[in-house]
Amino acid sequence: MAEVKDKTEVQNKKMVVDEERCKGCGLCVNVCPVEIIENAEDRINQNGYHPAEIKPENQDKCTSCTQCYQICPDVCITVYKE
Ligand code: SF4
Ligand code: SF4
């Protein structure tokens, strides 16, 4: 279930996508103010969609603004606080 949690629960990631629930709609990609979300080109989930992701090298650029979490229609994004 997507929700905002304390970042101490996960290492090196501020935003995490439940990839099997993602439908690749791209709303989170478009809303992110620092433009670090993309749809993974190299894999598809069980429903045939390219899931949203942030590449490891871009995780630190996330400001935990939660806009991606708020816009996702399928509630599959979790944002961790700083
Ligand atoms: S929390 Fe904000 S900065 Fe981080 S990935 Fe989502 S929209 Fe982008
Ligand atoms: S808004 Fe949600 S369903 Fe759409 S691409 Fe992003 S994570 Fe996937």
* Tens place of pLDDT per residue across the chain (82 aa): 555 555 555 567 899 999 999 999 999 999 999 999 999 999 999 999 999 999 989 989 999 999 999 999 999 999 998 6
Ligand 2 centroid, distance to 21 Cα (angstroms)? 8
Q: Which domain holds residue 56?
A: 4-80
**Which atom of ligand 2 is nearest the CA belonging to 18?**
7
pTM value surpassing 0.85:
yes
How many domains is the chain built from? 1
CATH, residue 37 = 3.30.70.20
Ligand 2 nearest-atom number relative to CA 27:
1
Whole-angstrom distance, CA of residue 46 vs CA of residue 41: 15
User: For the sheet containing 77-80, what is the strand order?
Assistant: 4-5, 77-80, 15-17
